[in-house]
Amino acid sequence: MSEKTFPFLKFHRALPQEVPVSIRVLGHGEIHGGFTNGDAGDQAARCIDCGNPYCSWGCPLGNRIPQWLQLVRDGRIEDAATLMHETNPLPEICGRVCPQDRLCEGACTLEEGGFGAVTIGGIERWVTDEALRRGWRPAMHTQERSGQRVAIVGAGPAGLSAADRLIRAGIAVDVFDRYEEAGGLLTFGIPAFKLEKSVVRTRRAVLEELGVVFRLGIEIGRDLPFAQLVDGYDAVFLATGAYTSVDAQLPGAELDGVHSALPFLVANTRRLLGTATSPQALPDLAGKRVVVLGGGDTAMDCVRSSIRLGAQRVSCVYRRDEANMPGSRREVKYAREEGVEFIFQRQPLAILGSGRVERVRVAQTELVGAAGARAQSRIVAGSEQELGADIVIQAFGFLASPPDWCAEHGIALDANGRVLVGGPGRAPQQTTNPKVFAGGDTVRGADLVVRAALDGREAARAILSRLQAVTAST
């Protein structure tokens, strides 16, 4: 077996250079730099083009990964970026925040063989960054404007993806969002050390160059009636996200010093952006004992942010073991490197204190469940203990946040409060109001950025089919 035939034997798996822990915890910048052109080509050359592209099957977007890896290997960076954009409207973002270890890289044949997966995410990120730096831009699918208009409510990943596909197909697009910056949770929920906000601003600028109009700081239903969008546009796409925190109903949650994850992360982002309106919105963590409850990616965002905000000690309490954590293994690794203490198999029971949080009462758990199923936790009798805490952040997840005005416009919700789409007689992503489509977390509940991007892409496709049918019938 020669190295010439099998480059993965010569070039070992490598990520872009990582900022040392002692430096990265002092700021909020991304912890990885970029590849050089040669390094990216060497890493891309590790792909063995296995014939059955498990990496592509493992990607919700169906990205043509082996094909653009070959283009990178050949040094055709702009061509690789073009091919990426055929399936993914947000590759530089997905390359940063996707849990590749559970998706494309987890499915890589080299990973299965013990050689280490191709660094698909790092290459995807670098290629798009480099292509945009060189002046490359996504191509318009049509140079003609149809005269039709679509309103998008929500400037998160689903909304941005739909805007990309629609504007490139000649449809005028207005994107409305209540926040002062585009990106939704890409901007306000995901910390800058995972996704620098300049990346989202660049994507917004690219879309604006194509003709997308962003109308920010406008909340539909408060500042502008939804009926005005339904009446004034040819179609509407709802991408309002999942902002409602799951309430574990812990006794003591009302104590001073207890915070929900999302307001905490939003306040920190606004502080960094310089758009904070209330300095009291972000708690002072300097020298404090911080306990984060939860084990998903949002919990990892909170513990790693707390380290950077000067907490003396940061603990993550999770009711299952590490193998059953829903968050990215990569994020757990980074958090542990940065000094976070993980306390597994502990069920939070109550938050204790006199006016202000002082302790968290937890109980040890044991894991039970059928073979092949995700383990469930069960409290061990007589195992209660208390953990000292000055700040508690609850990160139990989020629920879809459909607007209050959905019902009055014939937009049905399911039993969990998510917008219903598809089904008999309806197009993919189409709601029970035929003029309104929806996608992302408002349909799925809290989910991955890549799946929101998929919904936006598919909603745009369904909207285009509807608009073409309307045009043909007139």
> Domain holding 454: CATH number?
3.50.50.60
Q: Are residues 249 and 262 in the same domain?
A: yes
CA-based torsion, 248, 249, 253, 259: positive or negative: positive
379-398 confidence digits (pLDDT tens): 999 999 999 999 999 999 99
Q: Decide if 141 is inside a domain.
A: no
| pLDDT number for residue 201 | 97
Q: With 90 as the cut, is the pLDDT of residue 473 above it?
A: no
Token readout for 103 is 């998706």
The pLDDT, as a whole number, for residue 411 is 97
Average pLDDT over all residues of the chain: 93
Closest CA to 122 of 138, 100, 89, 90: 100
Distance of CA 295 to the CA centre of its chain: 16
Is residue 386 located within the same domain as residue 421?
A: no
Residues 316 and 303: their CA atoms lie apart, in Å, by: 7
Are residues 262 and 346 part of one domain?
yes
Within a domain: residue 1? no
Domain match, 207 and 325 both: no
Look at residue 423 and tell me whether its pLDDT is greater than 50.
yes
| 333 vs 327: CA distance, rounded Å | 11
Report whether 416 contacts 447 (CB < 8 A). Answer: no
- pLDDT tens-digit series, residues 293-314: 999 999 999 999 999 999 999 9
Q: Please tell me whether residues 344 and 404 are part of one structural domain.
A: no
**What is the C-alpha separation between 192 and 196, in angstroms, rounded?**
4
What six digits make up the tokens of 143? 């140079």
> What is the model's pLDDT at position 1?
42
Query: pLDDT tier at 371 (50, 70, 90 boundaries)?
Result: low
CA–CA–CA angle 80, 154, 410 (5° rounding): 125
Of 360, 357, 441, residue with least CA distance to 399:
441
The number of domains in the chain is 3
Dig out the tokens for 189 from the structure.
């929920």
Range of the domain at 33: 7-133
Query: Are residues 124 and 14 part of one domain?
Result: yes
Q: Are residues 465 and 370 in the same domain?
A: no
In 3D space, the residue among 41, 193, 24, 23 whose CA is nearest the CA of residue 126 turns out to be: 41
If asked whether residues 390 and 411 sit together in one domain, one would say: no
Q: Assess contact for 399 and 244: CB atoms under 8 A.
A: yes
Domain membership of residue 296 (yes or no) is yes
Kindly report, residue by residue over 181-240, the tens digit of the pLDDT.
999 999 999 999 999 999 999 999 999 999 999 999 999 999 999 999 999 999 999 999
User: Is residue 421 assigned to a domain?
Assistant: yes
The token pair at 68 is 């653009």
Side chain identity, residue 78: E
285 and 348 part of one domain? yes
The answer to whether residue 305 sits within a structural domain is yes
As a three-state string, the secondary structure of 246-272 is CCCCCCCCCCECEEEHHHHHHHHHHHH
List residues bridging with 258 in a β-sheet.
392
* pLDDT tens, residue by residue, 27-71: 999 998 888 768 999 999 999 988 889 999 999 999 999 999 999
Of 359, 377, 394, the residue at which a domain comes to its end is 394
Would you say residue 432 lies in a domain?
yes
What pLDDT, on a 0 to 100 scale, did the predictor assign at position 370? 65
Residues whose CB falls within 8 Å of the CB of residue 389, separated by 6 or more in sequence, listed in order: 257, 289, 290, 291, 351, 357, 358, 359, 360
* Region class of 348: left (phi > 0), else alpha (psi between -120 and 50), else beta: beta
Whether residues 381 and 421 share a domain: the answer is no
Q: Would you state the pLDDT for residue 191?
A: 96
Nearest to 285 by CA among 263, 268, 260: 268
Nearest-angstrom CA–CA distance, 465 and 442: 22
pLDDT digits (tens, 9 = 90+) for 343-361: 999 999 999 999 999 999 9
- Among the listed ranges 22-31, 146-155, 464-473, which one has the minimum average pLDDT value? 464-473
325 in Cβ contact with 332 (< 8 Å): yes
Angle, alpha carbons 43-44-48 (nearest 5°):
110
Say if 144 falls within a structural domain.
no
Shared-domain flag, residues 258 and 301: yes
The identity of residue 59, as a single letter, is: C
| pLDDT classification of 429: cutoffs 50, 70, 90 | very high
Question: What is the predicted pLDDT for the residue at 2?
Answer: 45
Least confident of 70-79, 167-176, 270-279, 341-350: 270-279
Report yes or no on 140 lying in a domain.
Answer: no
- CATH number for 14: 1.10.1060.10
Same domain, 207 and 123: no
